[in-house]
Amino acid sequence: MNLENYIRDILDFPKPGIVFKDITPLLKDPKAFREALIVMEDHLKDDTFDYFLGVEARGFIFAAALAARMNKGMIPVRKPGKLPAETYRKDYTLEYGTAGLEIHKDAIDKGDRVLIVDDLLATGGTVEAVALMIEEMGGIVEKMLFLIELDFLNPREKLSGYKIDSLIHC
């Protein structure tokens, strides 16, 4: 199954000049979604880690499903003000602005091996902020896993110290 056939381009979203990679057709099709999870899981067969970490919001979808399939815990990273307990915050730059993310302060213990999951790797700014949060909390970033990677933005340059896997390269 060609998973790229289930990714829709939306022009000028969220602002002019951006081509948004819409994964909702993939999520709507149970066979395509299941295939994406199977392929992602296959990319992890040789990795040792304790938790999946899902990046708001679409990263939650894949991290939670993979965590359930692989009998692992899932840690959410959210936009500021969305988590109920005490949080740790990191601000970062996007390809079209700035943003911040938060994680519960007790989500990661020293030495926890974490696998970051998100739907899309663009410039790497978001996932770099997440990786720094994990490391500053004493955790270890085992790997980063993405459904889609925008190769033309060269995100791996920014993330050169990390193991990265992506299913679809654009």
Active site positions, annotated: 58, 95
- DSSP letter for each residue of 127-145: HHHHHHHHHHTT-EEEEEE
Own/partner contacts of 130-135, CB < 8 Å, gap of 24 or more, are 130/53, 130/55, 130/77, 130/90, 130/101, 131/159, 131/162, 132/90, 133/77, 133/88, 133/90, 133/101, 133/103, 134/53, 134/108
Tokens of 151: 């190769």
Q: Which of 103, 100, 101 is nearest to 86 (CA)?
A: 103
Q: What φ, ψ does residue 51 adopt, rounded to 5°?
A: -140, 150
CB 165 within 8 A of CB 145: yes
